């Protein structure tokens, strides 16, 4: 999982310029210029924050494994040992990185240009979602037809598409209809869509922005706010609730983590985090070993349950915060292991998160099909899970290689063009 990352580990302190309002004797008294918004942190030396890439890549692996049928490999994912899971990691890092990237553009080029860039990214994610939806339906329909097993269409939630394809496609384009395992991207699209005004306000009043986010989260719980889904129900990931994690990530990126640095270095806080994580671990174990449930007081059970994932239960949010704080305490940004070749595959997956997430959805259904059609016990489960992670890592390596080659080709072309201009006298 990822952590509440301290921007000072890889970035300069945000500078807020403001006029001092003084006037000289010779100059007429004029009002001081308004304070400039805080600039986002700039990575020292242009280096990436590898901890973010690492934990986002690990989150993508965990999401893939969690989407497979339960097996021995799924016991390695964090959802079996606490209240939160890989989704919290992914959304938090998405908010952090989005704010870090686009806040700089908003400071340097203004709200309109930065907003246009964000909307362009929203469009790219939306196109990826539509493409994923189309190919996913084709994959499921082909397997169900070829192997004469209609249960696949029911398990993957596409029966309504087969009954009313015209209506269902429209609902899918409106993000209301989503097959199984396709709930994260619509949430990400909605959160990114509202990033421009969030970012504009956060650059000026970061604590107020976070406070408004907390207020919206509370209203979502009080009045059951959510978006409708098709054919019935509501969104599995309530954007009115999950926006809190996204905004909190943005708040950390724009100086919040730096301000919390003294708190995150407190051993008392770390002890409290460990106690909470151990308590969450014990509660989670009662789900798998019911005989342990006798040790949990009934008043605690009545207060605690249900632990709602759809509305980002407070216990889940606190569990993520405890994990994040402990990770920051134990894993510094200059940890040599971040340069280890053993962690390189996860880091590359984190650097190409959109492509790898889409690939993971395809692989999850393929793994589901293999595990359903082939009986091989724990060995086959392990092979399927590991094979998916290897394929995702290999794809990330190819994407990274292509990006490097394309960037190098662009520089070479620009250099050749410059030399040609010089040779031609600049004409």
Q: Can you give the residue range of the structural domain that contains 221?
A: 7-11+48-258+344-384
Position 19 scores a pLDDT of 37
Q: Which of 114-123, 135-144, 331-340, 409-418 has the lowest mean pLDDT?
A: 409-418
Position 47 scores a pLDDT of 58
Position 151 scores a pLDDT of 72
> Is 100 a member of any domain?
yes
> Is 212 a member of any domain?
yes
pLDDT in tens, 30-53: 344 444 444 444 443 345 789 999
Residues 158, 138: contact at Cβ < 8 Å? no
Helix 165-173 × helix 111-146 angle, to 10°: 150
> Is 111 a member of any domain?
yes
Tracing tokens 């293999």 back to the chain, one arrives at: 370
CA–CA separation, 155 and 38 (whole Å) = 49
Position 163 scores a pLDDT of 79
> Is 241 a member of any domain?
yes
| DSSP letter (8 states) at residue 43 | B
Beta bridge partners of 314: none
- Number of domains the chain is built from: 1
CA–CA separation, 427 and 420 (whole Å) = 10
> Is 424 a member of any domain?
no
CA–CA separation, 45 and 340 (whole Å) = 20
Position 414 scores a pLDDT of 58
Assess whether pLDDT exceeds 70 at residue 269.
Answer: yes
What is the per-residue DSSP string for 380-422? HHHHHHHHHHHHHHHHHHHHHHHHHHHHHHHHHHHHHHHHHHH
pLDDT in tens, 139-150: 888 887 777 777
CA–CA separation, 292 and 398 (whole Å) = 47
pLDDT-derived band at 304, boundaries 50, 70, 90: very high
> Is 285 a member of any domain?
no
pTM (2 d.p.):
0.84
CA–CA separation, 108 and 124 (whole Å) = 23
> Is 273 a member of any domain?
no
- Could you tell me the two tokens for 338? 């971040």
Position 42 scores a pLDDT of 40
Comparing 155 with 267, which gets the higher pLDDT?
267
């Amino acid at each position: 999982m990822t952590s509440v990352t301290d921007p000072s580990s890889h970035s300069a302190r945000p500078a807020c310029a403001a006029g001092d309002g003084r006037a000289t004797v010779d100059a007429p008294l004029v009002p001081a210029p308004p304070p400039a918004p805080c600039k986002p942190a700039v990575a020292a030396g242009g280096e990436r924050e590898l901890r973010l890439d690492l934990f986002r890549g690990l989150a993508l692996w965990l999401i893939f494994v969690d989407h497979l049928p339960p097996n021995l490999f799924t016991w390695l994912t964090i959802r079996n040992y606490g209240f939160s899971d890989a989704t919290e990691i992914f959304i938090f890092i998405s908010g952090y990185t989005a704010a870090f990237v686009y806040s700089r553009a908003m400071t340097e080029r203004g709200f309109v240009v930065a907003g246009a860039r964000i909307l362009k990214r929203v469009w790219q994610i939306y196109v990826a979602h539509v493409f994923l939806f189309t190919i996913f339906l084709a994959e499921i329909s082909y397997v169900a037809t070829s192997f004469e097993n209609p249960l696949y269409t029911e398990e993957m939630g596409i029966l309504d598409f087969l009954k009313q394809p015209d209506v269902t496609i429209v609902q899918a384009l409106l993000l209301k209809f989503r097959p199984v395992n396709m709930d994260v991207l619509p949430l990400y699209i909605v959160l990114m869509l509202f990033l421009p005004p969030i970012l504009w306000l956060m650059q000026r009043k970061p604590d107020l922005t976070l406070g408004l986010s907390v207020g919206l989260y509370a209203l979502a719980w009080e009045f059951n706010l959510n978006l409708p889904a098709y054919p019935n129900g509501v969104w599995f990931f309530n954007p009115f609730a999950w926006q809190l994690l996204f905004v909190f990530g943005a708040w950390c990126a724009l100086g919040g983590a730096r301000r919390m640095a003294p708190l995150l270095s407190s051993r008392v806080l770390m002890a409290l985090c460990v106690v909470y994580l151990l308590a969450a671990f014990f509660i989670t174990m009662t789900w798998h070993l019911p005989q342990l449930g006798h040790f949990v007081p009934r008043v605690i059970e009545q207060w605690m349950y249900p632990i709602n994932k759809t509305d980002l239960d407070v216990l889940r949010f606190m569990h993520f915060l405890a994990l994040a704080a402990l990770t920051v305490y134990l894993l510094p940004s200059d940890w040599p292991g971040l340069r280890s070749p053993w962690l390189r595959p996860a880091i590359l997956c984190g650097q190409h998160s959109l492509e790898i997430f889409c690939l993971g959805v395809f692989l999850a259904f393929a793994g589901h099909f293999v595990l359903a059609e082939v009986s091989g016990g724990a060995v086959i489960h392990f092979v399927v899970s590991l094979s998916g992670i290897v394929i995702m890592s290999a794809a990330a390596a190819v994407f990274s290689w292509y990006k490097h080659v394309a960037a190098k080709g662009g520089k070479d072309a620009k250099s050749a063009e410059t030399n040609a201009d010089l040779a031609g006298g600049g004409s």
